[in-house]
A and B are shown apart, each in its own frame.
Chain A
Amino acid sequence: MTSEFREKLEEALFPPFVALLVALICGDLLIMSYGQSPSSVYRLLIEGTWGNAYGFGQVLYKTTTLAFTGLAVSLGIRAGLFNVGAESQLAAGGFLAALVGLALSPAIPGFVAIPLCMIAAAAGGAVVGAIPGYLRVRFGAHEVIVTIMLNFVVLALLNWFIANHLHVPETLHTPEIRAGVVPRLSQYIPAFHGSAANLTIILALIVAALVWFGLFRTRRGYELRAVGLQPDAAEYGGVNVGGIWFRALTTSGAIAGLGGINYVLGYKHYYEDGFAGGSGFLGIAVALVGRNHPVGVILAALFFATLSQGGLAIHAFVPKQMVEVLQGVVILAVAMSVPEVRQALRLARKPAKA
């Protein structure tokens, strides 16, 4: 039992570690190609992120959005579905949250207004997720195609709505929201002053815990994972495969939509066109590196947030784009090395057992 647990832990941790090592070596080569010393650039990257309270606050803020989109994508993958639509689900969630926040009177206390905005955010994402879910179940339309295309449709619709109906002149954002604003962390820990980190991160951790509980402790989670692993066996076990697909994509959209709270109500207090900024797509990488496990997703979100914030810290020495290249290398390294490393790990164990 304990040795099995240790083996599982090794299989979970060792492959990403190897992937990181590969990425690190590639990073060294990249940095050296710019004539810089890798150690000093990495030191700068760490100092700019985990080294001071402001930088760390920014990392936490970015982690929050990525945690939502990463959890959303990972839930889909667990059901055997590839949700590429987290980007527009995130935007739709933020948009609906902003609408509700604007509609509510500023006099309404936060403990009423914030949950209302959260419901709106989840509903916005859920609707965008439900459409590919329905099309998949009803017509067999592949969710990858539909979610990709829906990104264009939804983002363009939101852009049109903001640009024509709801923007402050000379900008592409809504007026300031006064109801349902989520407090910044700096209100409780002054050192975070100036950083965007806010209490939405607590919501992200709660959602991660709920996803974990839902996946591994409930009947629906059992069925969902069964559908993802072997749809034929799930069908044999009396599971309504189409129903699970629809629910999984809808829930996935809702989680991504909740992520919109972080920017709209936690940071800027308005909805701005294009705020998602690729976080939905990066969520795919987060889910992949986090091995579709809620704990892994949170850690991966933290990692990618660090890279993203760190890019700002080092761009005096190497181009910021280098960090983006590094992100790509991490994703590739994980995608390629995880199965290989796991295989090698199992092979290495075999003689010990025999």
Chain B
Amino acid sequence: MTASPQQQTAQPGAIISMQRIDKSFGPVQANRDASLQVMPGEIHALVGENGAGKSTLMRILGGLMKPDGGMVEVNGRDVTGWSTNEAIDAGIGVVHQHFMLVPTLTVAENIVLGHEPLKNGMFDAARAIADVTALSSETGLAVSPARKISELSVGEAQRVEILKTLFRGAKILVLDEPTAVLSPPEVKELWTVLRRLRDAGGTIVLITHRLDEVMDLSDTITVMRAGRTIERLKTSATNPAEIARAMVGRDVALMSREAAAFGEVPAVGADRVYPPNDFSAALEVTDLVVTGARNTRVVDGVTFAIQPGEILGIAGVEGNGQTELIEAIAGLRKSVTGNIRIAGHDITDADVAERREAGLSHIPEDRHRRGLILDYSIADNLLLGLQSEFSRKGVLDADRIADNAQTMIESFDIRPPSPELPARALSGGNQQKVVIAREMGQDFTVLLASQPTRGVDVGAIEFIHDRLRAARAANKAILLVSAELNEVLALADRVAVMYRGRFAVVMPASEATEDVLGEYMIGTRKVSAA
């Protein structure tokens, strides 16, 4: 493993050298002391989970954002804080996750946009088509120049995006999660194209969080976590488990206190006695299928049951259907087929409010988008989803709301303890406490806990873990999804690994180790034990 101080030093001969990059958005630090060294002629994978700061780093490279601190060098020239036009002129081409194409124009028109060939001052369509055809056969990126973008598949549209950057003379290609929207054969095609571009002397930076792709394609790997650069690895000298550990593993500084918290737990799951059958299951999910964009099956036939007093943990690399599974159970996303029951009641077709009434609580993975209304006060946020219970004949009961806020602030230690403060003003940990107070402070049968400790400090992590254990002791059923493997292992009685929309394995937590789970997470082990 590379020692971290060395990562900061520039590699001689690097074509891209980003050093000690800092960038924050308000209170959120997207990059802190991040660095990236890319050698000419290599495919460099930039890996890390959602929110690790990969895209921000690439936006800085592409001139879309200016860093708060640090230095960016391209071809040995200091270009810190340059503009997008300067980046394009210097040969950097960014292919965004969301395509930047004009759907009503043709492929050729999109590719030459901004550099249109002219004849007598008019757009020369024939020349544009000829130029694009030439470039297409030169690079092996097959496209039909005269078709409209709106008629293309995603894979074709992506080829157009790549051609567009090459047409502008890109020598360094940055691809942001290029496979997120592609089907497996389209991915294979893309790989061929990228290898050919590299072999022709191009440099490629690939942003991804899928380890199989990284191993398959890249020459060098930079791992990011929580805005920092964790490791720089040679692909030939590493293995998926090592990358996974760097991606989702624990921070060393954080580790000691967290381990102390986990240490109190006896071998979970080992000596627990379950009811002998599923009749008393608190949550039953049967053959659930959820489709995403372009009719891909993001949740592909998942079946499980959780007993009262049990925590089922779902591990997995993000983007394997965990989010969609939780949203489908919560009623925020339509399921195509399958059945969901809470304590025997069928809630498959119920709306969000009805599911809550049936005893469902939900800690959402994104508290800023879903879990909180940032401009509402703490008191008002504590009633989101419970607004009917806190009103009489349609009028909000101010006294009970104030009492509730006071009680929750005290018992969940929300700081500062001012009920009228907007949620926006709280720290991440205290915002999460507001969500947890609301979802766990009232009676419930089933709790969906999605990334319950994401972005909160160590003290709050311990607090949240204690709450989850207390809820299990009180006979609640909990479905826990976490990107932190050690969190799943520490809390869950059974662990399921989700891979490409399915449960790759379900096993008692007592039998699970990080290494075994890691192999299921990246798909190198594929036994369905469920």
Q: Is the CB of A233 within 8 A of B387?
A: no
CB-defined interface of A217-255 with B at 8 Å, one 1/0 digit per residue?
Answer: 111101101100110111111111000000000000000
Q: Is B395 an interface residue (CB 8 A)?
A: yes
Given A236-B384, A237-B387, residue A4 in contact with residue B420 (CB < 8 A): yes
Chain B residue numbers with a CB within 8 Å of A217 are 395-396, 398
Q: Is the CB of B375 within 8 A of A220?
A: no
Interface residue count for B (Cβ, 8 Å)? 31
Given A219-B394, A222-B396, residue A236 in contact with residue B332 (CB < 8 A): yes
- List residues 10-56 of chain B with CB under 8 A from any CB of chain A: none
**Complex Cα gap A226–B386 (Å):** 13
Q: Is the CB of B356 within 8 A of A238?
A: yes
Nearest-neighbor residue (CB-CB) of B362 within chain A: A236
- List residues 382-402 of chain B with CB under 8 A from any CB of chain A: 383-385, 387-388, 390-391, 394-396, 398
**Complex Cα gap A194–B95 (Å):** 70
**Complex Cα gap A346–B394 (Å):** 35
Q: Is the CB of B384 within 8 A of A237?
A: yes
Looking at the assembled complex, report how far the CB atom of B181 sits from the nearest CB atom of chain A, in whole angstroms.
21
Q: Is the CB of B387 within 8 A of A1?
A: no
Q: Is the CB of B330 within 8 A of A236?
A: yes
Q: Is the CB of B380 within 8 A of A235?
A: no
CB-defined interface of B340-367 with A at 8 Å, one 1/0 digit per residue?
Answer: 0000000000011100100000101000
Q: Is the CB of B394 within 8 A of A233?
A: no
Chain A residue numbers with a CB within 8 Å of B370 are 232-233, 235-236
Chain A residue numbers with a CB within 8 Å of B385 are 236-238
Given A233-B370, A240-B351, residue A220 in contact with residue B394 (CB < 8 A): yes
- List residues 187-239 of chain A with CB under 8 A from any CB of chain B: 217-220, 222-223, 225-226, 229-230, 232-239
**Complex Cα gap A233–B421 (Å):** 18
Q: Is the CB of B374 within 8 A of A230?
A: yes
**Complex Cα gap A233–B375 (Å):** 12
CB-defined interface of A1-37 with B at 8 Å, one 1/0 digit per residue?
Answer: 1001000000000000000000000000000000000
Q: Is the CB of B391 within 8 A of A219?
A: yes
Q: Is B9 an interface residue (CB 8 A)?
A: no
Q: Is the CB of A238 within 8 A of B391?
A: no
Chain B residue numbers with a CB within 8 Å of A1 are 418, 420
Q: Is the CB of B373 within 8 A of A233?
A: yes
Q: Is the CB of B394 within 8 A of A222?
A: no
CB-defined interface of A110-145 with B at 8 Å, one 1/0 digit per residue?
Answer: 000000000000000000000000000000000000
Interface residue count for A (Cβ, 8 Å)? 21
Looking at the assembled complex, report how far the CB atom of A233 sits from the nearest CB atom of chain B, in whole angstroms.
5
Chain B residue numbers with a CB within 8 Å of A234 are 373
Q: Is B369 an interface residue (CB 8 A)?
A: yes
B376 CB contact (under 8 Å) in A4, A226, A232: A226
Looking at the assembled complex, report how far the CB atom of B366 sits from the nearest CB atom of chain A, in whole angstroms.
8
Nearest-neighbor residue (CB-CB) of A222 within chain B: B387
Looking at the assembled complex, report how far the CB atom of A220 sits from the nearest CB atom of chain B, in whole angstroms.
7
Chain A residue numbers with a CB within 8 Å of B372 are 233
Q: Is the CB of B396 within 8 A of A218?
A: yes
Given A229-B376, A230-B373, A235-B352, residue A219 in contact with residue B332 (CB < 8 A): no
Nearest-neighbor residue (CB-CB) of A236 within chain B: B370
Q: Is B63 an interface residue (CB 8 A)?
A: no
Looking at the assembled complex, report how far the CB atom of A248 sits from the nearest CB atom of chain B, in whole angstroms.
16
**Complex Cα gap A226–B371 (Å):** 12
Q: Is the CB of B356 within 8 A of A226?
A: no
**Complex Cα gap A239–B370 (Å):** 12
Chain B residue numbers with a CB within 8 Å of A240 are 351, 353
**Complex Cα gap A192–B426 (Å):** 53
Chain A residue numbers with a CB within 8 Å of B383 are 222
Looking at the assembled complex, report how far the CB atom of B358 sits from the nearest CB atom of chain A, in whole angstroms.
12
B387 CB contact (under 8 Å) in A219, A229, A235, A236: A219
**Complex Cα gap A18–B279 (Å):** 67
Chain A residue numbers with a CB within 8 Å of B362 are 236
Looking at the assembled complex, report how far the CB atom of B496 sits from the nearest CB atom of chain A, in whole angstroms.
24
**Complex Cα gap A237–B375 (Å):** 15
Given A217-B396, A235-B352, A236-B362, residue A222 in contact with residue B332 (CB < 8 A): no
Chain A residue numbers with a CB within 8 Å of B420 are 1, 4
Given A233-B369, A237-B387, residue A219 in contact with residue B396 (CB < 8 A): yes
Chain B residue numbers with a CB within 8 Å of A237 are 352, 384-385, 387
Chain A residue numbers with a CB within 8 Å of B384 are 226, 233, 236-237
Chain B residue numbers with a CB within 8 Å of A230 are 369, 373-374
Chain B residue numbers with a CB within 8 Å of A239 are 352-353, 387
Looking at the assembled complex, report how far the CB atom of A225 sits from the nearest CB atom of chain B, in whole angstroms.
8
Looking at the assembled complex, report how far the CB atom of B277 sits from the nearest CB atom of chain A, in whole angstroms.
32
Chain A residue numbers with a CB within 8 Å of B373 are 226, 229-230, 233-234
Chain A residue numbers with a CB within 8 Å of B332 are 235-236
Q: Is the CB of A229 within 8 A of B375?
A: yes
Q: Is the CB of B371 within 8 A of A219?
A: no
Looking at the assembled complex, report how far the CB atom of A234 sits from the nearest CB atom of chain B, in whole angstroms.
8
Given A236-B385, A237-B385, residue A219 in contact with residue B395 (CB < 8 A): yes
**Complex Cα gap A226–B373 (Å):** 7
Nearest-neighbor residue (CB-CB) of B398 within chain A: A217
Looking at the assembled complex, report how far the CB atom of B415 sits from the nearest CB atom of chain A, in whole angstroms.
16
Nearest-neighbor residue (CB-CB) of A216 within chain B: B396
**Complex Cα gap A218–B398 (Å):** 10
Q: Is the CB of A223 within 8 A of B387?
A: yes
**Complex Cα gap A4–B374 (Å):** 17
Chain B residue numbers with a CB within 8 Å of A225 are 376
**Complex Cα gap A235–B355 (Å):** 13
Chain A residue numbers with a CB within 8 Å of B421 are 4
Looking at the assembled complex, report how far the CB atom of A59 sits from the nearest CB atom of chain B, in whole angstroms.
34
Looking at the assembled complex, report how far the CB atom of B424 sits from the nearest CB atom of chain A, in whole angstroms.
11
Given A219-B387, A232-B370, A233-B370, residue A238 in contact with residue B352 (CB < 8 A): yes
Nearest-neighbor residue (CB-CB) of B391 within chain A: A219
**Complex Cα gap A240–B373 (Å):** 16
Chain B residue numbers with a CB within 8 Å of A232 are 369-370
**Complex Cα gap A237–B398 (Å):** 19
The 8 closest A-B pairs by CB, nearest first: A238-B353, A237-B384, A219-B391, A237-B385, A238-B352, A236-B370, A219-B387, A232-B369
Binding site for B on A (CB under 8 A): 1, 4, 217-220, 222-223, 225-226, 229-230, 232-240
10 contacts between A and B (CB under 8 A): A4-B418, A218-B395, A219-B390, A219-B391, A229-B374, A230-B373, A237-B384, A238-B353, A239-B387, A240-B353
List 16 additional contacts besides A222-B396, A230-B374, A236-B330; criterion CB under 8 Å.
A1-B420, A217-B395, A217-B396, A218-B391, A218-B395, A219-B391, A220-B394, A229-B375, A232-B370, A233-B370, A233-B373, A234-B373, A236-B332, A236-B385, A237-B384, A237-B387
